[in-house]
Amino acid sequence: MYQALYRSYRPETFQGLLGQDHIVRVLKNQLDAGTTGHAYLFSGTRGTGKTSTARILAKGLNCLAPQGERPCGECAVCREIAAGVFVDVIEIDAASNNGVENIRELRESVNYPPAVGRKKIYVIDEAHMLSQAAANALLKTLEEPPANIVFILATTEPQKLPSTILSRCLRLDFHRVSEKVILERFIEICDELGVEAEPDALALIASNADGSVRDGLSLLDRCIAGAGVVTRERVLEFLGMCGQEVFLDLTGMVLDHQVGEALLLLDGALAQGKDVNQFARDWVEHFRHLLVVKYVSNPQAMLNMSLENIKRLQQQAERITLDKIKDSIIELSEALSEAKWSTRPRVIVELAIVRLASAGYAQVRPVLQETEKPDMPVAVRPKPTGPAAPVRDVPQAEPEALIAGPPQSESMEPIANPQRIEPEPQPVAHTGELSCEELWNRVMQDERISKMARTCGSVLAEITDHLFTVEVSNSIQEEQFKKEEKQLVEVVEEYTGRKRRLQLLLNDAETQESFL
C-alpha cells in the first residue's frame, strides 16, 4: 500500500527529528534523569514535528530497552507506539473531540493507571480547539494529576489556550526548520528512494515548505509521483504560481520597468487557473510584507514565515522606497475595488501592472538590477508568445511614450551615487523598452552632435526630471561635451519630451588626475 512520504519518513527517535535540537536536549535530559513532567505544551507552526515529538516522548517514557538511548525505536513498545496501537498512548484530536461526551470519557479514563506501560500518555492535538467545558475538565485533571499520567498538548495557537492551562504545562516552542536542514533531508530521501532530482528543484521545494517539514514532504511527494527526474519546472507546475517567489519576481519586474515580462507572468498565473482578484490580493499582501520587513527588525513572528523567506523579502525591501510600496498598495487596492464591479477584471489588473511598472521610469535607471538579479530566488521564464506581446512590440519611432513617465518628485526612487555607477548592459533586448543606454545610443547617432563627441564612449548615467548625467572618462571629453551642451539638451528633449539640464561626470579618478 502506498504511504505518504511524511508518514513513511516520520521520525521515530530523537535522532530523526529535524531542526528542534533545543527541544531534543530538554526531553533527553529529562528522560535520562527521570524528571519528566506530567504536562507538556508543544507549540509551533504546522509540520514542525510536534506530534512526532509527542510520540517519541511517549516511547521514551515506555521504552523497554534495558540500557542505551531511549527511545530505542526497536523494542515492542516503540514499534507499537509507532504503529499507533499501543494501548497506553491515547491520541485525541481536540478539533473533533470536544463534546461533553468526550470529556466525560477522558475524565473517567485518566483515573485508570496505565494498562501495560510505565506511563499513560494523552496526546491532545490542536489543543486550542478544546471547548470551554473540555478545557475546564482538563484543568481539573492538570491541577491534581493522577500518578503515571502524562499530558502532551500540541497547538499551533498557544495564545488561544487559557492561561490557567498554560501555567501548568512545560511549554516547548517548536521552530520552523531551516531550508538547509530540510534540503539536506530531501537529498537523503531522494537517494534512498532512488529518485533523481535537480538540486535546484529540491531547493525550491525546501523554500516553499516555509519551515514545515510536512508541507515540504507533501510537495516532494507530489513531484516524485510523476515519473522521471524531479525538475524545477515540475516543481513550479505543482506550486501553481502562487508561492512567494512569483510575487518577488513580479515586484522585481515592476521595479525594473519590465512591463512585458510582468504581464506575461500574470498571464502564466491565470493560465494555471489562478483567480485574478486573488492574485491581486496576494500581491497587495506581498507589498505589506515588504512594508513590515522595512520597519520591523525581527519580523519573523509577525509574518509567520521562515527566516530564509524573510531574507528574500528584505533583499527586495532594500531596493524599494516607502513611496513606491505605498503607491503600489493604493494602485492595487483601487484596481481591486474596480475589478469587483467589472466584467473584465483582468484588464484592470493588467492596467495596474503597466502603471506600476512605468511609473517613475524617467527618474532613474535601474542601476541595481544587474547586481541584484543573482539573488532573486526564482526567475519565471516568459513564454515566447502571449497576449502581452503587443506591449513588447512598441513602435521604436515613438520612444517618448515609454521614457516619459508621469512627473514625480525625485525622492520617489533612490538616486544612486553617480560616482559609483559603472557602465552596465541594459536589458533592452528583453523588454523592448527604452533604457538609458538605448536613449543615449539614439542621441549619439544624431547629426547635430559632433563626431568627436559621438565616438568617445560616453555613458548616460542617470536621468531625472530636471537633469541628465553623462559620464565621461577624461577632461578632454568633458570639454567637448561642454561645447555641445546646447545641442545635447535639445536632442535629449526631443527624445524624452522634457527639457533637462546637462550634468557632466568624470568617472575615472586616475584619468582625471593625469589630465589636470
Distance of alpha carbon 199 from alpha carbon 206, whole angstroms: 10
Nearer to Zn ion, 71 or 268 (CB): 71
Q: Any idea what the Cα angle at residue 161 is, between residues 20 and 150, rounded to 5°?
A: 60
Stretch that binds Zn ion, among 71-79, 237-245, 340-348, 397-405 (CB under 5 A): 71-79
Type of residue found at 14 = F
Choose, by CB under 5 A, the member of 56, 57, 78, 239 that binds Zn ion: 78
Contacts of 275 by beta carbon, 8 Å cutoff, 6+ apart: none
68: left (phi over 0), alpha (psi -120 to 50) or beta: left
Using CB under 5 A as the binding rule, whether residue 399 contacts Zn ion is answered as no
Is there binding between residue 82 and Zn ion (CB under 5 A)?
no
Least distance from Zn ion to the Cβ atom of residue 143, Å = 32
The residue among 24 and 193 lying less far from Zn ion, judged by its C-beta, is 24
Indicate which single residue of 24, 75, 166, 181 sits in contact with Zn ion (rule: CB under 5 A).
75
Find the shortest distance in angstroms from Cβ 38 to Zn ion: 21
Residue 515 grid cell: 589630465
Nearer to Zn ion, 17 or 250 (CB): 17
Binding-site string for Zn ion from residue 41 to residue 70, where x marks contact by CB under 5 A and - marks none? ----------------------x-x-----
Q: Taking the mean position of all CA atoms in its chain, how far away is CA 463?
A: 33
Shortest distance in whole angstroms from residue 115 CB to Zn ion: 17
Using the minimum distance from each CB to Zn ion, give the nearer residue, 68 or 374: 68
Kindly state the smallest distance separating residue 9's Cβ from Zn ion, in Å. 19
Sole binder of Zn ion in the list 44, 49, 60, 71 (CB under 5 A): 71
What is the chain's alpha carbon radius of gyration, rounded to the nearest angstrom? 31
Closer to Zn ion at the Cβ: 71 or 216?
A: 71
Decide whether 80 or 261 has the Cβ nearer to Zn ion: 80
Give the total of residues touching Zn ion (CB under 5 A). 6
154 binds Zn ion (CB under 5 A): no
End-to-end CA distance of the chain: 83
Nearer to Zn ion, 81 or 293 (CB): 81
5 binds Zn ion (CB under 5 A): no
CA dist 238 and 230 (Å) reads 11
3-state secondary structure 211-277: CCHHHHHHHHHHHHHCCCCECHHHHHHHHCCCCHHHHHHHHHHHHCCCHHHHHHHHHHHHHCCCCHH
Q: By CB under 5 A, is residue 219 in contact with Zn ion?
A: no
What is the rounded CA–CA span in Å between residue 97 and residue 433? 61
**Cα 13 from Cα 17, distance rounded (Å):** 7
Sort strands 170-173 and 39-43 into parallel, antiparallel or unpaired.
Answer: parallel
Alpha carbons 331 and 316: distance in angstroms, whole number:
19
Give pairs for 230-238: CB < 8 Å, separation 24+.
230/190, 230/195, 230/196, 230/197, 230/198, 230/201, 230/202, 231/198, 231/201, 232/198, 232/200, 232/201, 232/204, 234/201, 235/201, 235/204, 235/205, 235/208, 236/204, 236/378, 236/380
- How far apart are CB 73 and Zn ion at their closest, in Å? 6
Rule CB under 5 A: is residue 195 a binding residue for Zn ion? no
Binders of Zn ion among 103-132, rule CB under 5 A?
Answer: none
Among residues 166, 232, 229, the alpha carbon closest in space to that of 205 is found at 232
Contacts for 264 with CB less than 8 Å, ≥ 6 apart = 382, 383, 386, 388
Q: Is 263 in the site for Zn ion (CB under 5 A)?
A: no
Stretch of 78-86, 251-259, 363-371, 440-448 contacting Zn ion, by CB under 5 A: 78-86
Q: Which is nearer to Zn ion, 63 or 110 (CB)?
A: 63
Min. distance of Cβ 54 from Zn ion in angstroms? 16
**Dihedral of the alpha carbons of 136, 138, 140, 145, in degrees to the nearest 10:** -170
Which residue's CB is nearer to Zn ion, number 75 or number 505?
75
CB of 55 to Zn ion, least distance (A): 12
Nearer to Zn ion, 36 or 475 (CB): 36
Smallest distance, Zn ion to C-beta of residue 79, A: 8
Q: Is 445 left (phi over 0), alpha (psi -120 to 50) or beta?
A: alpha
Instruction: Please identify which residue in 41, 57, 61, 72 interacts with Zn ion, judged by CB under 5 A.
Output: 72
Does position 79 interact with Zn ion (CB under 5 A)? The reply is no
* 221, three cell numbers: 511527494
Identity of the residue, 53 or 98, whose beta carbon is nearer to Zn ion in the bound complex: 53
The residues binding Zn ion (CB under 5 A) are 63, 65, 71-72, 75, 78
